[in-house]
């Protein structure tokens, strides 16, 4: 049975949460550790967050693990993040599979080391029929690159200009088949999108917390969901309460 926070009605739980897991580096530096220690602590927190996501009853979780811009970080940090991805698959795949998590990847897989590609594809294949939680891992991902890639594929497929609609674009994105994120959480207090899901975030609600990612715990996650539950999502229209009032 999913544990639902008492103050949040089931229909107010977001279907899709996306997270920009920021602040690992600063978390580590504050403690006098190398930046990679922050990414390791962030990975531990990711494990806890996935569990909480299932417990809260959220169906889709998208995490920003490595952007196409992150290649510009010091080589030891890039190598460390590549290692973490493989290590997470090696250590966690069976448990995630048992828990009913379906793993998907968004981003340019073909630009990663062939050994990593193989591991990712194996994880996707193993978990493809799971449906308790869909976990999209954005790795070697950027929103602009995703749109460029979609346009290239549409042209290659000979799609006529008049057939290019919102729905058509959705079908060509890495996130095809995933609903748009209802709630985007960003840790470490930064107020920017950082090239994450730039198409899909058109009407997403935001929750920004000053906590660094390794410190983002279940209580803060609950606060994010409670805040979201109180938002009036109007999608550019007026609220239903206002509409009723004006019709009365």
Question: Which residues are the active-site residues?
Answer: 22, 70
CB of 22 to ligand FPP, least distance (A): 5
Rule CB under 6 A: which of 58-87 touch ligand FPP?
Answer: 65, 70, 84-85
Q: Which of 13, 24, 56, 221 binds ligand FPP (CB under 6 A)?
A: 24
Q: How far is CA 42 from the centre of its chain?
A: 14
| Eight-state DSSP code of residue 206 | E
- Using the rule CB under 6 A, is 23 a contact of ligand FPP? yes
Q: Which of 16, 39, 104, 119 binds ligand FPP (CB under 6 A)?
A: 39
- Using the rule CB under 6 A, is 117 a contact of ligand FPP? no
The secondary structure of the chain in percent helix, strand, coil, rounded to multiples of 5, reads 50, 15, 35
Nearest residue (CB) to ligand FPP, 211 versus 223:
211
Asked if residue 96 lies in contact with residue 103, where contact means CB atoms within 8 angstroms, the answer is yes
The one segment of 15-23, 51-59, 126-134, 220-228 that binds ligand FPP by CB under 6 A: 15-23
Residue 232: how many CB atoms within 10 A of its CB?
10
189: left (phi over 0), alpha (psi -120 to 50) or beta: left
Residue 54: how many CB atoms within 10 A of its CB?
19
CA angle, 153 as apex, 148 and 155 as ends, to 5°?
95
- Using the rule CB under 6 A, is 46 a contact of ligand FPP? yes
CB of 148 to ligand FPP, least distance (A): 21
- The residues pairing with 60 across neighbouring beta strands, listed in sequence order, are 16, 134
Nearest residue (CB) to ligand FPP, 13 versus 178:
178
Residues binding ligand FPP (CB under 6 A):
21-26, 39, 42-43, 46, 65, 70, 84-85, 88, 137, 139, 188, 213
């Amino acid at each position: 049975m999913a544990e639902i926070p008492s103050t949040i009605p089931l229909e107010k739980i977001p279907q899709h949460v996306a997270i920009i897991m920021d602040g690992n580096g600063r978390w580590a530096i504050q403690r006098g550790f190398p930046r990679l220690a922050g990414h390791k602590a962030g990975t531990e927190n990711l494990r806890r967050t996935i569990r909480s996501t299932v417990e809260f009853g959220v169906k889709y979780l998208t995490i920003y693990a490595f952007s196409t811009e992150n290649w510009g970080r010091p080589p030891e940090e890039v190598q460390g993040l590549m290692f973490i991805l493989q290590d997470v698959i090696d250590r966690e795949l069976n448990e995630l599979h048992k828990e009913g998590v379906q793993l998907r990847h968004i981003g340019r897989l073909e630009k990663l080391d062939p050994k990593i590609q193989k591991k990712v594809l194996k994880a996707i294949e193993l978990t493809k029929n799971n449906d308790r939680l869909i976990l999209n891992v954005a790795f070697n991902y950027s929103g602009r690159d995703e749109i460029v890639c979609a346009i290239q594929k549409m042209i290659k497929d000979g799609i006529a200009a008049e057939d290019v609609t919102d729905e058509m674009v959705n079908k060509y994105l890495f996130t095809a088949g995933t609903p748009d994120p209802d709630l985007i959480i960003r840790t470490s207090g930064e107020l920017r999108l950082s090239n994450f899901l730039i198409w899909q975030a058109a009407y997403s609600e935001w929750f920004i917390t000053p906590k660094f990612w390794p410190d983002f715990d279940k209580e803060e996650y609950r606060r994010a969901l409670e805040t979201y539950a109180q938002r009036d999502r109007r999608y550019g229209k007026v609220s239903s309460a206002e509409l009723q009032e004006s019709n009365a």
